[in-house]
Amino acid sequence: MLVIKHEVVDKDNNHLYNHFYWWCIGCNDVHIFANNHSPNYPGPDWEFDNNYESPTVNPSILTNQNYNGEPHPCHVFIKQGMIQYLSDSWHALAGQTVAMVELPDWV
Ligand SMILES: [Zn+2]
């Protein structure tokens, strides 16, 4: 079962980023982390072990969303296919660790 989807995105004319999508059960929404290896163009650079079934990603991923004008931070570690929700996450899974799930077809 694949829990990460990869896509190469061209931002700002030929600055290629790897976007990695994963499904957040706590937010019931898709989240993303990214890296880029353009040497002269700094950007987000999460370390991913290229395991699409049981991924490990470093460092933690903080997703800042706005629902109805209110901030809803979601903060996780992803380790060996498990999502560890940190206590500063807005939803009920804060402080819990759950297995990653497959992305829906529309992602
Ligand atoms: Zn989330």
Decide if pLDDT at 10 tops 70.
yes
* Residue 20: count of CB within 10 angstroms of its CB: 22
Reported pTM: 0.89
Q: What is the C-alpha to C-alpha distance for residues 48 and 36, in angstroms, rounded to an integer?
A: 12
pLDDT tens for residues 89-105?
Answer: 999 999 999 999 999 99
pLDDT tens-digit series, residues 46-70: 999 999 999 999 999 999 988 889 9
pLDDT (0 to 100) of residue 14: 75
Ligand 1 centroid to Cα of residue 31, in Å, is: 7
CA of 13 to the centre of ligand 1 (A): 30
| Ligand 1 center to 89 CA (angstroms) | 8
Q: Which run of H or E residues covers position 35?
A: strand 29-35
**What tokens appear for 11 in the block?**
């931002």
So where are the chain's domains?
5-99
Q: Is 63 within 8 Å of 73 (Cβ atoms)?
A: yes
How far does the centroid of ligand 1 lie from the alpha carbon of residue 62, in Å? 9
| pLDDT for residue 70 | 92
